[in-house]
Structure 1
């Protein structure tokens, strides 16, 4: 990222402040080329760099990407092991560039199932980028929306049991304070690549009023230009949040 040429892109009028992406299609992209699925995941990781770099040029402050779901453990042992190795390699390879580029990294999801070394690396990356604010990159690993709400509810219930919170005070403003994303604004725009039209248990609570784009492009083919186009299209949407125009 640092030291790489940065093409000039005018800020997009009405650009979403927070974009979340379900990065789907890596495996199919590789299969189309007669390569193993992990080849596609590596190509997808390289695509992340380009999209993160484009955020400040377009006007996106927060980018959240779905890297590994709670359901992805059902994949073959070879693919899961390869993905975990890819996460470790990504952290090692990208840390210096992320720091230099002003990117703040956060991870969401249940870390306890991840190996200890990866957990440590995730924590170290969060720490060394903690003072950055040019782009807020959130990476969802071992994340599921239902799992997140269940874990948040347990923490909320524990505070009620301990007398720190009254049951009468629990409302729809309370639970978000216990979610993994409690320091983030809700996503304005959620993009899913690869032609699938489902949300796959991603940011269920947070995306209640998000705008959605389901596109056919496979994630390794998703470009900076397409990202900018989707952000520009968002600016033309009429967001009423259940109300009507006066």
Structure 2
């Protein structure tokens, strides 16, 4: 049966069911601003204001986990004033949106390193995590100071510190020591902004994820774009390395 949005549209048929976990590489903020003659930071500002709308859209379609790639370990190479400005915007966004997220059943989690986050942002995230910890409508994982390779290195270090023996190193053991332990692997990766690469995002977890790219920059990624991405996913046949059942 096709789902209905609040606007009465029929985005796509939920057979197969919607993805459990969608992860988004939020790209294109800077180009969005430059194309409008604005400072790059204004693109990031517009991007933070789009987050609530996108969370709501995915939640309405039954997505249980949404991961947003907000700042990578490589983004530290950007100009310091842009990085500092982005930290301020993100802290403001968390403070501004947390009560609405909580009221709408959103649980917030953070993946990535915490020690380098600006203190106001770190405290805002910690407070939001504590406030929303019992919510179950949708889990929002914010990837801040995150890199897939660093995550794997950190997981190995945790395993060594725990005294895990070589013979006990399995895929399951590694997964249990990643930042995403307890979170299902993404079914669908969406990248906005027109690029076609993973950019060091969830490298372990995306082995069999479906990929969807759009030229639309993150600030303009709308409910219609969400519907289009989910419709494309619904047409995929996920085989996880096996054969198409109809060809056996």
TM-score (norm 1): 0.93
1:146 pairs with one of 138, 144, 149: 149
> Which residue of structure 2 lines up, in the alignment, with residue 231 of structure 1?
230
**2:72 corresponds to 1:69:** yes
> Which residue in 2 is equivalent to 1:134?
137
1:242 aligned counterpart, secondary structure: coil
Q: Deviations over 1:161-206 (max 9, x none)?
A: xxxx332111111100000000210000001111111100000000
Alignment correspondent of 2:123: 120
* Distance across 2 between alignment mates of 1:45 and 1:122: 14
Q: Is the 8 A contact 1:9 1:57 kept in 2?
A: no
Q: TM-score, normalised by structure 2?
A: 0.92
Deviation of the 1:37 alpha carbon: 0.3
Q: Aligned-residue CA RMSD in angstroms?
A: 1.5
* Distance in 1, Cα, partners of 2:102 & 2:13: 25
- Which sits farther off after the overlay, 192-201 or 224-233? 224-233
Q: 1: CA distance between counterparts of 2:182 and 2:129?
A: 14
Instruction: Describe the shift of the 1:96–1:6 C-alpha distance in structure 2 as closer, same or farther (beyond 3 A).
Output: farther
Paired with 1:187 and 1:95, the residues of 2 have a C-alpha distance of: 24
**Residues 1-246 of structure 1: pairs in structure 2 closer than 5 A:** 7=7, 12-13=13-14, 14-160=17-163, 165-244=164-243, 245=245, 246=248
Deviation at 1:8, TM superposition (A): 5.0
How many residues are paired up? 238
Q: Deviations over 1:78-123 (max 9, x none)?
A: 1001000011101110111011000000011001111233222211
Q: Report how far residue 226 of structure 1 moved.
A: 1.2
What secondary structure is seen at the aligned counterpart in 2 of 1:71?
A: helix
CA distance in 1, matches of 2:64, 2:157: 31
Distance 1:63 1:12, change over 3 A: farther
Q: Is the 8 A contact 1:9 1:58 kept in 2?
A: no
Q: Distance in 1 between matches of 2:218 and 2:83?
A: 18
Q: Secondary structure at the match of 2:115?
A: helix
Q: Secondary structure at the match of 1:126?
A: helix
Q: 1:12 and 1:111, CA in 2 relative to 1: closer, same or farther beyond 3 A?
A: farther
The 3 A distance-change label for structure 1 pair 49 and 32 is same
What SS is found at the alignment partner of 1:155? Answer: helix
Structure 1, unmatched stretches of 5+, are none
